[in-house]
Amino acid sequence: MSNKAPSNIKEWIEDIRDAYHEATNTFTIYQLSGEENIQANELWKMTPHLTLKRRQLEISEATLNQAEVTIESTLEENRNEQEFDILDYPIASFSLCYLAGHYAFSLVEEDQIDPIMKAILDEIETNEESWYPNIDS
């Protein structure tokens, strides 16, 4: 894992898929330990922390709080603009929030988010099984 943000759409798809696997594995650990603070459809809440970890960033608590606000407002804006609720699609909501986290930390430009999301949604539609971690590995 590189601390640099991906530089093209293919790299973004791979990075977001890997981050989703990491979040899913972390969620499984929470479940096994009896932790109930997060639900399977709320993996998007982990995105600011995963962004920090995966990009090896050290920031202030205030900056993290601002990133969480950015992510939540991006999610809410999307929910208001779409005919469907993105929260009904955990991979899509995770992907959008992961990108919003990168935007909040100035790691991706706003005009890059829509093309990346379109590519991710296309990838999910054609290759959804690759987004679920293989528990046999």
Please state the φ and ψ torsions of residue 84, each to the nearest 5 degrees. Answer: -130, 165
> Which pLDDT band holds residue 110 (cuts at 50, 70, 90)?
very high
- Rounded Cα–Cα distance for residues 103 and 105 (Å): 5
Domain ranges of the chain: 9-130
pLDDT, tens digit (0-9, with 9 covering 90-100), for 65-93 = 999 999 999 999 999 898 888 988 999 99
- Rounded Cα–Cα distance for residues 11 and 117 (Å): 13
- Rounded Cα–Cα distance for residues 57 and 115 (Å): 25
pTM: 0.86
What's the DSSP call for residue 106?
T
Identity at 28, one-letter amino acid code: T
> Which pLDDT band holds residue 24 (cuts at 50, 70, 90)?
confident
What's the DSSP call for residue 44?
G
> Which pLDDT band holds residue 29 (cuts at 50, 70, 90)?
low
Identity at 26, one-letter amino acid code: T
pLDDT, tens digit (0-9, with 9 covering 90-100), for 30-59 = 656 555 667 777 889 889 989 999 999 999
Quick one: which of 22, 16, 12 has its CA closest to 92? 16
- Rounded Cα–Cα distance for residues 63 and 68 (Å): 9
Provide the strand spans (E) within 81-125.
none
Quick one: which of 107, 41, 104 has its CA closest to 72? 104
Structure tokens belonging to residue 37: 């603070």
Quick one: which of 95, 97, 87 has its CA closest to 119? 95
